[in-house]
Every structure is written in structure tokens, then in C-alpha cells.
Amino acid sequence: MTSPPPAAHGRRHRTLPTPTGELHVVEQGTGPLVVLLHGFPETWRAWRRQLGSLAAAGFQVAAPDLRGCGRSSVPADVGDLRMTAMVDDVVTVVHGLGHETAVVVGHDVGAPIAATAALLRPDVVRAVGLLGVPYNPPGGPRPTEAFAQVGGPGADFYVSWFQQPGRAEADVARDPRGWLAGFARGLDGPTHTSPGPDGLFFVPAGARMSDRFPAGPLPSWLSEADLDGTVEDLARTGIAGALGRYRNADRDWADLAPHAGARLTQPAVFIGGELDATTTWMADAIAALPEVVPGLRSSTLLPGCGHWVQQERPEDVDRLLVDWLRDLPDAGPTAGAAVSSPG
């Protein structure tokens, strides 16, 4: 493990070894550990507002670049991006930072990683927070077959469209900055596209996903400098590593088959955006959370909010997370610690 260099705003950058390379982690604060897992196609920067606010509330906060993303290594074999490898990386972060246990919070593709880490490693994950994507117990039909049926004959559902190596990569490579900006706009609350067949999640035959991105300025929560940082990260690693989560859907389904129907028993919280397509598609799973996650404290849909919940509504997310974290057994921080949301 390399020593962390000095960092602005109290942030510390570390590199932790894994069996397939290195894992880049940004951390801040001291106290009980909270690990934050970003979504697609992002990096640790997705949590830039929460790092400071949770640290100010008395926690050590760690936001890794997921395996294959940002400054973390991209494995040569797509199978090394499977869910069980991602869970191993969560354990690497916890133990690498000198802790035995942690609270793990995930957004978008990070949410299933957080949930699966809680399922497979309850000795390490003492509580779990899910943003955007609710827990859905393992099992059911083979994912690629199910997603193919969602798309139908005239268009591919986005998960199916991501499956073919090179197709999404070529779309992004045409204009990486424009692609990231358009994808952000398309899932933002005020400018979100339809979750139905006319939205960006369904790609007609021969078309590109970017053809369906809405035009306009950057979302209010995404600065030019923040976008520049993500573009720089993408130039370093490419998009294939991030796409690996989708390309392991069937491997994950097979790996987790022994846990079909399993409930999560740790304390938990769910936060989603009312206008997020995922909360529309998975409304039944959200309704079932009290049954499949018996330790659920609260389930909140933020009105007028899109997919990027912790960036669109940082104050609301900070408050919900800090209130929940402070109520956890052995949480540790002083009840009167300040909560802020630095930009």
C-alpha cells in the first residue's frame, strides 16, 4: 500500500493492491468507516459532496474507483469484473484502511455491489445503504434472456446493447466529453428522458445510444471542472471496464445461484429519485424491501429528483445518511457534529 500524498479539502488518495492490479481510493475524515461505491459510468467523484459532509459528521469515508474504472486497474479478463471480485475489493478497502467492519453505501451499479457484499460478507459489512437500485434477491431467469425480451424486435434495451464488445466503446470514443454530458442530462431530474421505448434506454437497430441524448447545458450539479476530471479518468482507463458490470450479468447470476431468495439482515436504508427510470422499473422491488431487507430503517423517493440522487440532492442525501449512520449500533460520532455539503 502506498502512502497517501497531501490532498486538498482533507482528502487522501491511496492505492491498494488486488489480485488483478491496483485499487484507487479517496478517503477523508476519521471514525467508523463508511465505504461509498459509485455507479456507471463514474468514479469516486460521484461522491465528492458526501466525502466532506460525512467526514464532518464524524466518519472516515472511503470512495474507491471501482475495479476497471478511473485510476483503478482494468483487468485483462472481463470475468475479473464479476460481482464476487467486486465484493472482494470492498473487503480490500475495509481491511486495507485498518478496519474490520464498515458501512457500505452504493449508487446505481454500486448498489448491487454493496448489497451483495452485505449478503456474502456479513462479517465485514455491518450496514448497507442503497441509492437508486433496491435490493432484489438473487434468482429468477437468466439476465441476458430477460433483458432481450424487454427490448423487443425493434430496439435493444440498454443492458443488451452494452453486451456486444466494441459497440458502446465506439459510441463513447466519438466524443467522450459530449457522451458523458449527454448521459448525465438524460438521467437528470429536470431533463430526464422517458423510461419507455422512446427514451435513451432503448436503442433502435443500427442506432447509437448517444442519438437519444437530450441537448442543452450541463446539469446544475455538474461543473465543467467536474466533467473535465471524469473525462480525464475515462481517457486513462476507457469505458470497457465500466461496461464489465453489465457484461458479467450471467456470470453473477450463476455465481449467486446458491443464494437465491436470500434476505439481507443488516440495518439498511434506501434512497431513490422519484423521476429515476430505475425506481419506475423496480417499483415492486422497492415495495418489497421491508420483507427482503427486514432491517430497513427507511425508504425515501426524493420528489423531482432523477437518477443522480447524491449529486442532484446532496443536502437531502447527507441528512438521510447521517441520521441513519448515527442511529447504528456502535456508530461512534458525536451527536452534535456538524453536517455540511461542500461542493
pLDDT exceeds 70 at position 338: no
C-alpha cell at 169: 466503446
Confidence of residue 152 (pLDDT cuts 50, 70, 90): confident
133-156: string of b/e by CB count within 10 Å (b at 16+)?
bbbbbbeeeebeeebeebbeeebb
- Which CATH number does the domain housing residue 224 bear? 3.40.50.1820
How far apart, in whole angstroms, are the C-alpha atoms of residue 90 and residue 109? Answer: 14
Is 337 part of a structural domain of the chain? no
Which domain, by its residues, includes 21? 8-327
280 and 272 Cβ atoms separated by less than 8 Å: no
Of the residues 24, 38, 107, 307, which is catalytic?
307
Is 53 part of a structural domain of the chain? yes
How far apart, in whole angstroms, are the C-alpha atoms of residue 311 and residue 50? Answer: 9
Query: Structure pTM?
Result: 0.93
Confidence of residue 343 (pLDDT cuts 50, 70, 90): very low
**Residue 165: is the preceding peptide bond cis (ω within 30°)?**
no
Is 332 part of a structural domain of the chain? no
Nearest CA-CA partner of 134 in 259, 9, 3, 292: 292
Is 278 part of a structural domain of the chain? yes
**Phi, psi angle pair for 281, to nearest 5°:** -65, -35
Active site residue 77: no
Q: Which DSSP letter does residue 78 get? A: G
Nearest CA-CA partner of 202 in 152, 144, 143, 156: 156
pLDDT in tens, 37-89: 999 999 999 999 999 999 999 999 999 999 999 999 999 999 999 999 999 99
User: Per-residue pLDDT averaged across 171-176, rounded?
Assistant: 96
Is 140 part of a structural domain of the chain? yes
Of the residues 65, 89, 108, 276, which is catalytic?
108
Is 279 part of a structural domain of the chain? yes
SS3 of 319, please? Answer: helix
Distances (CA, A) of 286 to 115, 118, 182, 289: 14, 18, 28, 5
pLDDT exceeds 90 at position 28: yes
C-alpha cell at 163: 453486451
Is 304 part of a structural domain of the chain? yes
Please report, to the nearest 10 degrees, the dihedral formed by the alpha carbons of residues 171, 174, 177, 178 taken in order.
-70
Q: Which residue has the cell 459489512?
A: 125
Active site residue 24: no
How far apart, in whole angstroms, are the C-alpha atoms of residue 253 and residue 268? Answer: 23
Is 230 part of a structural domain of the chain? yes
Specify the amino acid at residue 219. Answer: P
pLDDT in tens, 268-327: 999 999 999 999 999 999 999 999 999 999 999 999 999 999 999 999 999 999 999 999
pLDDT in tens, 204-244: 999 999 999 999 999 999 999 999 999 999 989 999 999 99
Indicate the number of domains in the chain: 1
User: Per-residue pLDDT averaged across 116-121, rounded?
Assistant: 98
How far apart, in whole angstroms, are the C-alpha atoms of residue 199 and residue 126? Answer: 38
SS3 of 300, please? Answer: strand
